[in-house]
Amino acid sequence: GNSVTQMEGPVTLSEEAFLTINCTYTATGYPSLFWYVQYPGEGLQLLLKATKADDKGSNKGFEATYRKETTSFHLEKGSVQVSDSAVYFCALISRGYGNNRLAFGKGNQVVVIP
């Protein structure tokens, strides 16, 4: 089946620091990969996506590259702001798996300190 693994534990860093959140996956078929962000008290927002190997998704200074050889989709941002404090979920949908089931990672709480 499909599964997504995110690094354990919250991430705490200072403003303007470099952010990396690791995401690896296992999937049947040809997955599309996503990062969603959830700000406190809100729903999930699609942050970026990649639909095939070597695609780079980017949005709001965040980037992630679809690496088929390492089955990874790590999220990066070069200089975080306090407003980036949120929970980040890596997710995938596998083509051919049917019915568009999103498989989520456990999520990472990111706290940016001024």
Partner 1 sequence: DTEVTQTPKHLVMGMTNKKSLKCEQHMGHRAMYWYKQKAKKPPELMFVYSYEKLSINESVPSRFSPECPNSSLLNLHLHALQPEDSALYLCASSQESSQPYEQYFGPGTRLTVT
Question: What residues does 33 pair with on adjacent strands?
Answer: 50, 92
SS in 3 state form for 35-70? EEEECCCCCEEEEEEECCCCCEEEECCEEEECECCC
The verdict on 99 binding partner 1 (CB under 8 A) reads yes
The least distance separating partner 1 from the CB of residue 70, rounded to whole angstroms, comes to: 20
Place of tokens 């997955």: 31
Cα separation, 9 vs 6, in Å, equals 9
The one among 19, 21, 23, 36 contacting partner 1 by CB under 8 A: 36
The verdict on 9 binding partner 1 (CB under 8 A) reads no
The one among 69, 70, 100, 114 contacting partner 1 by CB under 8 A: 100
- Residues in the site for partner 1, rule: CB under 8 A? 31-32, 34, 36, 42-46, 49, 51, 87, 89, 91, 93-95, 97-102, 104-107, 109
